[in-house]
Amino acid sequence: MRDCIVVVCIVWLTSLALAQEPAMPPKSGESRQSGSVSADSGRKDMFEAKIKVEWEALKNKDKKGYAELLADDYEGVEVDGRGERNKIQSVNELAEQNVANYTLWGYKLIPLGPDAALVIYESTMQFPPKAQIRYSRVYISELWVKRAGQWKELHYQETRVK
């Protein structure tokens, strides 16, 4: 009787395990997945290029170039502790910027649908030789949205990295 119960338990556990095992994806799903990976790679490259343009605009105090990247309802928070800024405030503050150079790395793209994406990366900023602080490293998250066919930055958040 005991052997019979053991056999029944083994059969039951085996059937339970097989029922839990996912089915193999169809071949068409595999090609769709690889297409998605290359689409994400292309989108990541596009955002990296936009972020590079953004940082060049900051460095060169290019208000027009910077403003073109931001959504009208943009909000950003920087590490200076001055709170949230809207698009107009952020563009007007470019005159106060003193970034002499910068390095961007560690890009990570998190697609949030066809019209939204979160881009995370790090930046090391270099300030002029006479600046009180010469370097600053920040971890950045940017939320980008597609509006009227154009990708615009909706939200920016910096966190200081020590």
Residue 161 contacts residue 122 (beta carbons within 8 Å): yes
The CATH architecture annotation of domain 45-160 reads Roll (3.10)
DSSP states of 19-72: HHSPPPPPHHHHHHHHHHHHHHHHHHHHHHHHHHHHHHHHHHT-HHHHHHHEEE
Task: Write down the domain spans for the chain.
Answer: 45-160
- Lowest-pLDDT range, 5-19, 87-101, 114-128, 148-162? 5-19
Task: State the pTM of this model.
Answer: 0.75
Q: How many angstroms separate the CA atoms of 50 and 68, rounded?
A: 11
Q: Is the pLDDT of residue 49 over 90?
A: yes
Amino acid at site 58: L
